[in-house]
C-alpha cells in the first residue's frame, strides 16, 4: 500500500491532523445529524478514508457494525488508540481494498473522492459491495468550483508538501460519476460556510 497517492503526506501530518480542532463545529454536528438520520440500528456500515476515526466514534455506536478504514497506518494507529463502541472496527486498507468483504448496507466516504486516483473504479467497487437498496453517503471537496485564485494556490501548496495529491472535481462532474456508477442521488446539501463540499446521499437501486 506504499504506492497510495498522498500516503506519505497523511502519515506525516497524522498527529497534527488529530490535534487540530474542528473548523466549523456547528456544521460538523449538522453533518453528523444528517448522516445519522439515514442509518438504522441493524446497518453494517463501511467507512472509507476514516482518518483518525472521529466520525466512526460518533456514529458507530448506533449501528450493528461500523468498519472504518484508512490507507494511512498512522491515521489508523491514532484512531485505534481511542475508546470505541464495540460495533466499531478500525482497519488499514486502501480505498480499493476497503470494499472487500460485505456486502454492506451503507458505505460512507467523507472528504475522500477528490483524493482517489481512479474515481470511476472506486465508485464501481462501492456499488458492487452494497446491498440492493443500500446507501452511499459522501462528502467531497469540489475544488473545480472554487475561485481561480484558490485553484491556483493548491499546486503551490503541494509543491511545498502542504497539500496532498487531489483532483479539481466539480459538483456536476461528481454527480455524473456517481450516477454513471449506477446510483440514484436522493439528496444533496452543504453545511456551514463550505459551499463547495456537497454531502450526497445516493442509493443503489433495489
Residue range 75-123, pLDDT digits in tens: 999 999 999 999 999 999 987 776 677 899 999 999 999 999 899 999 9
Give residue limits of the domains in the chain. Answer: 7-203
Which residue, among 206, 181, 200, has the nearest Cα to 109 in the 3D structure?
A: 200
pTM of the model: 0.91
Residue range 133-143, pLDDT digits in tens: 999 999 999 99
Q: Find the distance separating the first CA and the last CA of the chain, reported in whole Å.
A: 34
Q: Give the other-Cβ count within 10 Å of 36's Cβ.
A: 12
The topology under which CATH files domain 7-203 is Rossmann fold (3.40.50)
Cα 20 to the center of its chain, rounded Å: 18
Amino acid at each position: 500500500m506504499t504506492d497510495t497517492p498522498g500516503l506519505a503526506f497523511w502519515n506525516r501530518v497524522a498527529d497534527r491532523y488529530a490535534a487540530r480542532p474542528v473548523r466549523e463545529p456547528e456544521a460538523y454536528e449538522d453533518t453528523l445529524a444528517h448522516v445519522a438520520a439515514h442509518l438504522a440500528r441493524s446497518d453494517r456500515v463501511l467507512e472509507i478514508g476514516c482518518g483518525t476515526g472521529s466520525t466512526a466514534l460518533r456514529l458507530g455506536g448506533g449501528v450493528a457494525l461500523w468498519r472504518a478504514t484508512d490507507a494511512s497506518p498512522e491515521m489508523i494507529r491514532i484512531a485505534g488508540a481511542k475508546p470505541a463502541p464495540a460495533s466499531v472496527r478500525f482497519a488499514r486498507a486502501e480505498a480499493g481494498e476497503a470494499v472487500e468483504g460485505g456486502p454492506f448496507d451503507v458505505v460512507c466516504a467523507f472528504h475522500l473522492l477528490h483524493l482517489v486516483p481512479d474515481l470511476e473504479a472506486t465508485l464501481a467497487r462501492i456499488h458492487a459491495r452494497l446491498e440492493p437498496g443500500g446507501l452511499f453517503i459522501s462528502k467531497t471537496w469540489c475544488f473545480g468550483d472554487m475561485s481561480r485564485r484558490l485553484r491556483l494556490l493548491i499546486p503551490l501548496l503541494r509543491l511545498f508538501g502542504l497539500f496532498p495529491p487531489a483532483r479539481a472535481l466539480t459538483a456536476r462532474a461528481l454527480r455524473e460519476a456517481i450516477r454513471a456508477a449506477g446510483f440514484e442521488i436522493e439528496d444533496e446539501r452543504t453545511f456551514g460556510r463550505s459551499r463547495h463540499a456537497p454531502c450526497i446521499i445516493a442509493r443503489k437501486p433495489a
